[in-house]
């Protein structure tokens, strides 16, 4: 007892451990009660959690816990809700008019997301990932349309195709003026000069352009229109803008007029559902790049 008394620290009243380094003694401070309190609380919580919640693996299964809590139930619920959300938005696409859908930002958001994927899977191979087309495949981001650019008209084109196997297919037929002997070589050259002048190409003589204008009025305006701005009844393109399906250089335009053109666009009636086609029509109509007027 005398030893203990001697090793009690006079300032704190705690015992020392008896270790001493250069006159510094180590106190034997007890663990504070609050630590024991929280430790016990954690142990109790742990035991409670094992009993109530799924906890221990038991070979093939696991202890389910008294609460019957199962993360999988939440996932199933979420999946059901997502399917329900999807059903309601595609239902609305099916029932509502093009104009109403276009006015609804949330629906158009869904159209853009789903349309992008549908376009990538079905259309990008020909029209390009960004729908800007390529030689022989029209650019779908412009205001220059063969068969009309309203969503209704685009939906119809997607449904029946162009020169396709569909019974109501659009029929596109640019005659072969040279090959079929309708026009002579030098007349074709003149009409080509005129057509190119319409979109600003100034590399032909004024006389050729003038002569070409007459040939155009006699042979071409019935389909392309008196002003050459195209006609969505015949699928004849606007020849006055800067967008070309086949190309606007003299050689390509000559080849077009000499040999004719019949573009082929498949019918999608059997391959895509009516909702998918409607989404695509809205998607394509929405692609208009402002600069591409
Ligand atoms: C096999 C190639 C091919 C595929 C695939 C294809 N298209 Fe086309 N599409 C064409 C061609 C070629 C034309 C132009 C036909 C012509 O010159 O008369 C065209 C024309 C169009 C037009 C008419 C443009 C206008 O100016 O009126 C629309 C709209 C269109 N395609 C949308 C689509 C959509 C949407 C898809 C996907 C579902 C698609 N296309 C898939 C080849 C294709
Ligand atoms: C019977 C209607 C018809 C007549 C007549 C006609 N075209 Fe066309 N033309 C079309 C159609 C349809 C196309 C689109 C062909 C396709 O891509 O399927 C076209 C395409 C063209 C193109 C291609 C444009 C591009 O973007 O590459 C040129 C150029 C053209 N026509 C010039 C003429 C000229 C010049 C004449 C008169 C000598 C003429 N066409 C007469 C229907 C006609």
Enumerate the known binding-site residues for heme c.
Answer: 123, 126-127, 174, 220, 223-224, 265
- Mean per-residue pLDDT, 218-238: 96
Query: Does the beta carbon of 147 sit less than 6 angstroms from any atom of ligand 1?
Result: yes
Q: From the CA of 263, give the closest atom in ligand 2.
A: 18
88-170+265-292, which class in CATH? Answer: mainly alpha
Element (H, E) at 27: strand 24-27
CA atoms within 13 A on the CB side of 213: 9
> 140 and 287 in contact (C-beta within 8 Å)?
yes
* Residue-wise pLDDT tens digits, 123-172: 999 999 999 999 999 999 998 999 999 999 999 999 999 999 999 999 99
pLDDT of 239 higher than 70: yes
Q: From the CA of 262, give the closest atom in ligand 1.
A: 18
> 209 and 200 in contact (C-beta within 8 Å)?
no
Range(s) within the chain of domains with CATH label 1.10.760.10: 88-170+265-292, 185-259
> 52 and 67 in contact (C-beta within 8 Å)?
yes
pTM exceeds 0.75 for this model:
yes
Query: Does the beta carbon of 193 sit less than 6 angstroms from any atom of ligand 2?
Result: no
Question: What backbone phi and psi angles, to 5 degrees, belong to 87?
Answer: -60, -40
> 239 and 195 in contact (C-beta within 8 Å)?
yes
Pick one of 1.10.10.10, 1.10.10.60, 3.90.1280.20, 1.10.760.10 as the CATH number of 185-259: 1.10.760.10
* Residue-wise pLDDT tens digits, 68-107: 788 888 898 888 888 888 788 999 999 999 999 999 999 9
Q: 42-62 burial by CB neighbour count: b if 16+ within 10 A, else e?
A: eeeeeeeeeeeebeeeeeeee
Q: Residue 125 has what pLDDT?
A: 96
Ramachandran assignment for 272, one of left (phi > 0), alpha (psi -120 to 50 degrees), beta (any other): beta
Q: In terms of Cα–Cα distance, which of 176, 175, 169 is closest to 265?
A: 169
- Mean per-residue pLDDT, 268-278: 96
For 144-186, the three-class secondary structure string (H helix, E strand, C coil) is CCCCCCCHHHHHHHHHHCECCCCCCCECCCECCCCCCCCCCHH
Query: Does the beta carbon of 126 sit less than 6 angstroms from any atom of ligand 1?
Result: yes
pLDDT of 2 higher than 50: no
> 285 and 154 in contact (C-beta within 8 Å)?
yes
Q: Residue 187 has what pLDDT?
A: 97
**Collapsed DSSP state (helix, strand, coil) of residue 46:** helix
Q: How far is the CA of 236 from the centre of ligand 2 (A)?
A: 6
* Residue-wise pLDDT tens digits, 171-185: 999 999 999 999 999
Beta-strand (E) ranges in 54-198?
Answer: 57-58, 61-62
Query: Does the beta carbon of 137 sit less than 6 angstroms from any atom of ligand 2?
Result: no
Query: Does the beta carbon of 284 sit less than 6 angstroms from any atom of ligand 1?
Result: yes
Residue % of the chain over a pLDDT of 70: 97
Q: Residue 122's beta-bridge partner residues?
A: none
> Which has the higher per-residue pLDDT, 4 or 286?
286
> 94 and 278 in contact (C-beta within 8 Å)?
yes
Q: Which ligand is nearest to the CA of 248?
A: 2
CA atoms within 13 A on the CB side of 60: 0
Residue % of the chain over a pLDDT of 90: 72
* Helix, strand, coil fractions of the chain, as percent rounded to 5: 50, 10, 40
Q: How far is the CA of 127 from the centre of ligand 1 (A)?
A: 7
CA atoms within 13 A on the CB side of 190: 20
**Collapsed DSSP state (helix, strand, coil) of residue 270:** coil
pLDDT of 289 higher than 80: no
pLDDT of 4 higher than 50: no
pLDDT of 292 higher than 70: no
Find the range with the poorest average confidence among 29-38, 132-141, 163-172, 275-284: 29-38
Q: How far apart are CA 282 and CA 290, in angstroms?
A: 17
């Amino acid at each position: 007892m005398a030893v203990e008394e001697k090793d009690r620290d006079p300032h704190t009243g705690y015992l020392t451990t008896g270790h001493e380094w250069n006159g510094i003694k180590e106190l034997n401070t007890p663990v504070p009660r609050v630590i024991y309190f929280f430790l016990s609380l954690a142990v109790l919580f742990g035991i409670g959690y094992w009993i109530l919640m799924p906890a221990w693996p038991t070979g093939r299964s696991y202890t389910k816990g008294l609460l019957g809590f199962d993360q999988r139930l939440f996932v199933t619920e979420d999946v059901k809700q997502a399917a329900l959300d999807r059903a309601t938005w595609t239902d609305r696409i099916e029932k509502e008019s093009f104009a109403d859908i276009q006015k609804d930002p949330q629906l158009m958001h869904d159209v853009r997301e789903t349309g992008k994927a549908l376009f990538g899977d079905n259309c990008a191979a020909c029209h390009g990932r960004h729908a800007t087309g390529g030689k022989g495949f029209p650019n779908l981001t412009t205001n220059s349309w063969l068969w009309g650019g309203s969503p209704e008209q685009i939906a119809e084109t997607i449904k029946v195709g162009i020169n396709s196997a569909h019974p109501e297919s659009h029929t596109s037929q640019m005659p072969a003026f040279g090959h079929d002997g309708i026009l002579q070589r030098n007349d074709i050259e003149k009409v080509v000069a005129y057509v190119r002048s319409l979109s600003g190409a100034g590399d032909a003589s004024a006389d050729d352009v003038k002569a070409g204008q007459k040939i155009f009025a006699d042979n071409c305006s019935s389909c392309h229109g008196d002003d050459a701005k195209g006609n969505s009844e015949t699928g004849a393109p606007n020849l006055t803008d800067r967008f070309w399906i086949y190309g606007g250089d003299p050689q390509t335009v000559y080849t077009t007029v000499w040999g004719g053109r019949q573009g082929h666009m498949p019918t999608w009636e059997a391959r895509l559902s009516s909702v998918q086609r409607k989404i695509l029509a809205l998607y394509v109509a929405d692609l208009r790049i402002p600069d591409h007027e």
